[in-house]
Structure 1
Amino acid sequence: MAVTLGDVARHAGVSLATASRVLNGSARTVTDELSARVRSSAQELGYLPNAPAQALARASTATIGVLLHDVADPYFGAIARAVGDASSKAGLLSLVASTDADPEQELHAVRMLHAQRVRAIVLAGSAYTDPAAAGPIDEALAGYRAQGGVVTAITEHGPGYDTVSPANRAGAAELVRALIGMGHRRFAVIGGPERLRVSQERLAGVREALTEAELTLPQDCVLEADFSREGGRRAAARLVDGHPGELLPTAILALSDICAVGVLAELRARGIDVPGRVSVAGFDDVPLAADLAPPLTSVRMPLELMGREAVRLALAATPGAEPQVVALPLEVVLRASTAPPARA
């Protein structure tokens, strides 16, 4: 059986990416000690380098690929713009791939960016919680990294990646605490798709704060929706239909601003006053949040900083180094869409 690059990496006690950089001639440097170990293992095992891999490792382009879920979403639009600006300042071009939160499309995009020999890939969309969806993508990214590519992530995508990590769970908990401080006791949550890790993190923060306050979140007050305007509107319709009159919770938390836009639209269409009858809050604090009617309470994500930091990590990546995590605190921004409840 032919000796593989993975065999060499295991024998030398290094990562697959490090072994590739040594044997395939990547422009990214490796320490003399690690290089010697890899070459010694390759010689001992009789490994024969792969010529196409060597060519790819030496020929990465001046391009950074950005994987995101929906370029029309203001959240992703702000990140994409920041990545583009930071890339341009470094003399690089950014290439955006919008995958509609579809694992198959994301896998295809990773393979295409690999084939285009991009210098780095920024994962701007949430990771998937289902191993069947995430596994093939992780394998494709591992192959890309093994040939000298760099991957950075915005939000947690698993160990091994340099990561820009906004405090989604803590931000959601602080939002709930602020509304409890206004007097709210009955909440509903319109979350994102369960298969997205960000959705689960934000919902966990909501539950954490409610538990601290010894408040319950009924199951029929937790609704799953797409992170979209229509998703938020449809979920709000289900919530109102299922909780007529005084049964409607006093605060609705939409775990993305774009969902909150749909919630506000549905409540307005039904003649339900915000915040007189029900308060509404979002998450992300995209630029349009302050311009809605009423202006939207939200959790501010430093979107431009997140994009810039992802590029900085990609350009500063050092072979064999421990992955870096840049933790970013979030801020609750109270606006006119929330107020003390008229009823408990």
Structure 2
Amino acid sequence: MVTLKDIAERAGVSMMTVSRVMNSKEGKVSEKTASRIRSLADEMGYIPNSSARSLAAKSSQIIAVILRDSNTFHPLSDPYNASFLGFITREIQKRGFYVMIHFVQDFSDITFRLRSWNAEGAIFLGVFDEEVQKIQNRNKIPLVFIDSYSNVRQLINIGIDDYKGGQLAAEYFLKNGHKTLGFVGPFTKTGGVISKRYQGFSDTLLAHQITLFDKHVYDLEQMDPQDIIDSISHDSCPPTGLFVFSDETALQLINIASNKGWDIPSRLSFIGFDDLPSFCTFSDKLTTIHQDIFRKAETSCNILFEHIATPDKPSENITLDVRLVERNSVCRLS
């Protein structure tokens, strides 16, 4: 069995340094050294003493839920993540298992976390598409990815029809007489999910000879909601409607526009995405693309436990349907 001493010798550091990193107390250790130690521990197959009890048992009954973290906001500040995790936790506990939640920024953390507690399976929430192959190669337990557009063939993925969501939004705007439209979403950090929604939206407009101008594609990695409303207010030919990648951002935009004195939806119409409960009082008026979060969570857990029970079960890629929920945030133009 690999020990802290073995890792220390390979890394050329003291056992105390390795111990600090393995116990998440690396405050006195540089990030470069800590990352190298974690990578070595992963490569050498180190298993911490904290997992001895679960290793001794036939079943740890632990399911890991791995969420992509960032330096800006923690993952559960996102209403979608919080809602999904709530449903997932309930479904896992129904089966008498325990939930281990981990926020990760670096790939090297993932295998270490899974091995630390002898997790029997894992659900990945966030964008891990570029790392899927490495994650699967190093972890031989059932792994379920949520909303992945990875090209890896042997992948268990539960997602929704994001492209259709974009189609539905475009068709509804066109049905209500809108011809100058915009799209709002972050493109660089959210992978295929946002791209598919955008593609479905723009392809449908193009099929109806409607151009989605580049200046009306608002990238949230480059602009914040206030910037977007300011840009529209100075636009000589502004969009009459916006398809927004999430309800949360749509509601932020609506609040900013309303504070400027704009009448919503006659001045600017909105379609969101998710149909999640929100703290904003306008949420009950927001036309949106509904995805069934509970069904996605339930399906993810069902598939995961089927693969735990039958390890050689073939990989599955399940796409759940979406639908448009008509409320009052889109005005009809003559």
Tell me which interval the TM-score lies in, with the shorter structure as reference length: 0.7 to 0.9
**1:66 counterpart letter in structure 2:** V
Matches within 5 A, 1:45-124: 61-69=60-68, 70-99=75-104, 102=105, 104=106, 107-124=108-125
2:170 aligns with one of 167, 170, 176: 176
2:145–2:158 Cα contact (<8 Å) kept: yes
Kept in 1, the 8 Å contact 2:142–2:311? The answer is: no
Moved more, 66-75 or 79-88: 66-75
Counterparts in 2 of 1:231 and 1:79: CA distance versus 1, 3 Å: farther
CA displacement, residues 256-312 of structure 1 (integer Å, 9 cap, x when unaligned): 111112211221122221101110111111112884267211110110111111111
SS of residue matched to 2:178: coil
Contact 1:127 1:198 in 2 (8 A): no
Alignment-derived partner of residue 334 in structure 1: 326
Counterpart amino acid of 1:92?
F
What secondary structure sits across from 2:101 in the alignment?
strand
Give the Å deviation of 1:61: 2.1
* Identical amino acids, percent of aligned pairs: 18
- Give SS of 1:292's match: helix
> Partners of 1:110 and 1:235 in 2: how far apart?
40
Q: What does residue range 155-304 of structure 1 map to in structure 2 within 5 Å?
A: 155-158=147-150, 159-195=153-189, 196-225=191-220, 233-243=225-235, 247-288=237-278, 291-292=281-282, 295-304=285-294
Post-superposition shift, 1:95? 2.1
Give, in whole Å, the separation in 2 of the partners of 1:119 and 1:194.
32
Which position in structure 1 is the counterpart of 2:142? 150
Check conservation: 1:285, 1:300, Cα contact below 8 A: yes
Kindly provide the amino acid, as one letter, of the partner of residue 259 in structure 2: A
Secondary structure of the 1:327 match is: strand
- What is the SS of the residue equivalent to 2:278? helix
Q: Secondary structure at the match of 2:122?
A: strand
Question: Aligned-pair distance for 1:232?
Answer: 5.4
Q: CA deviation at 1:193?
A: 2.9
Distance 1:110 1:339, change over 3 A: farther
- Which consecutive aligned stretches of 4+ in structure 1 deviate over 4 angstroms post-superposition? 50-53, 55-60
Q: Structure 1's 290 and 329: CA in aligned 2 closer, same or farther, altered over 3 A?
A: farther
Q: How many corresponding residue pairs?
A: 274
C-alpha deviation, 1:340, in angstroms: 1.1
CA contact (8 A) 2:61 2:119 kept: yes
- Deviation per residue, 1:159-183 (Å, 9 max, x gap): 2222212101111111111111111
Q: Given that residues 286 and 327 in structure 2 are in contact (C-alpha distance below 8 angstroms), is that contact kept between their aligned partners in structure 1?
A: yes
Cα deviation, residue 332, structure 1: 0.5
C-alpha change, 1:223 and 1:114, in structure 2 (3 Å) is: farther
Unaligned segments of structure 2, at least 5 residues: 1-43, 69-74
Amino acid at match of 1:114: R
C-alpha displacement of 1:333: 0.6
CA contact (8 A) 1:290 1:296 kept: no
Question: How far apart in 2 are the matches of 1:66 and 1:108?
Answer: 13
TM-score (norm 1): 0.72
- CA positional deviation for 1:107: 4.7
Q: What is the deviation of 1:58?
A: 8.0
Which amino acid letter does the alignment assign opposite residue 61 of structure 1?
S
Q: Secondary structure at the match of 1:189?
A: strand
Contact 1:123–1:152 at 8 Å: present in 2 too? yes
CA distance in 1, matches of 2:298, 2:259: 39
Inter-partner Cα distance in structure 1 for 2:282 and 2:212: 27
Residue 64 of structure 1: how far off its partner (Å): 1.2
Is the 1:221–1:239 Cα contact (8 Å) retained in structure 2? no
Equivalent residue number for residue 34 of structure 2: none
What's the offset of the Cα at 1:156? 2.4
Q: Separation in 1 of the partners of 2:79 and 2:149?
A: 21
* Whole-angstrom CA distance in 1 between matches of 2:287 and 2:223: 19
SS in 2 for 1:338: coil
Taking a change above 3 Å as real, the CA distance of residues 231 and 57 of structure 1, as seen in their structure-2 partners, is: farther
Q: TM-score, normalised by structure 2?
A: 0.74
